[in-house]
Structure 1
């Protein structure tokens, strides 16, 4: 690539497309801690209580015509922000995916589920993905989102 493009090496990669990258001799950590903290603050949930899980195992979200409608623009904004965060947070991917199904006419119960995910993010904003030098060349992610 150096023959085709003018390139300069300015040091180790620290930040790329919203991902924070910390490199050490034999490992790499990837996180979106700064983005996660800004997301929590943006939606005003930084002073709310934290949750230990992103979704209750008893939660049954469905199309609910009896519940109160909420602002679809706010709901979609929250979903979009959380979808971007799943890049480095596979632990919330299932919960966000379930809530994303209700973007057309979101109800208060679905907004409550989204707020729970954001409160979980507030508690776990420092979570990161770790890649070891000793690991194989094939990157794989596993998450118990059940």
Structure 2
């Protein structure tokens, strides 16, 4: 598994050819459709396409070396696993070194098979880990409801769809419809989960 690269704007370093860098990032973005293990680091590198430096190019080359060494890794969909819909959610707190915005992601499994995943830098700066996790819970819930409606059209019914989150405060905020003084600032769009 790739380690999280320690990337920032790196203003003082030598610039590299942006066209070449963008081409390499585009190639890796294409690969993320079947290699969810590289999504996070590729998205980190993609943030610096405007002014890439040698540090950023080194991170890109490291991803290619990782891919070369893990050619046998990929998605596997056996036909004999169960048919339950499950989601896992996580977010960091102020993980972007430049903007201090959080990066959030979720993965959805259908019977133990990874069928949907997403990783995005949040549009607003969260003031707590709870808020960062709550925002991604809302995004994941919208995706789960869409998947539920699609599968319902094919005759599959799910009574309960578990969503796993490691932040107890975010879970409590989802379950409690009362607004508290510390959560009033959270945008209405994120209350979709309620």
Indicate the TM-score class for this superposition, using the shorter chain for normalisation: 0.5 to 0.7
Which TM-score applies when normalising by structure 2? 0.43
* 1:140 pairs with one of 114, 128, 137: 114
* Match status 1:127 vs 2:73: yes
Tell me the alpha carbon deviations over residues 81-111 of structure 1, each in whole angstroms, 9 at most, x when there is no partner: 0000011100000000000000001010000
Structure 1: runs of 5+ lacking an equivalent = 1-52
Residue 106 of structure 2 is aligned to residue 106 of structure 1: no
Moved over 2 A (4+): 137-143
Q: Secondary structure at the match of 2:19?
A: helix
What is the Cα deviation at residue 120 of structure 1?
A: 0.2
Q: Deviations over 1:93-134 (max 9, x none)?
A: 000000000000101000000000000000011212111112
| Structure having greater relative contact order (Cα 8 Å, sep ≥ 6) | 1
The DSSP-based 3-state class of the residue aligned with 2:77 is strand
Per-residue deviation at 1:141?
4.9
Structure 1 or 2: more helix by fraction: 2
Moved more, 75-84 or 133-142: 133-142
- Superposition RMSD on alpha carbons, in Å? 2.3
Measured against aligned partners, the alpha-carbon deviations of 1:50-90 in whole angstroms (never above 9, x if no partner) come to xxx43x34x32001110000000110000000000011100
Query: Residue 41 of structure 2 corresponds to which residue in structure 1?
Result: 95
Q: TM-score, length-normalised on structure 1?
A: 0.56
**Unaligned ranges ≥5, structure 2:** 85-109, 118-194
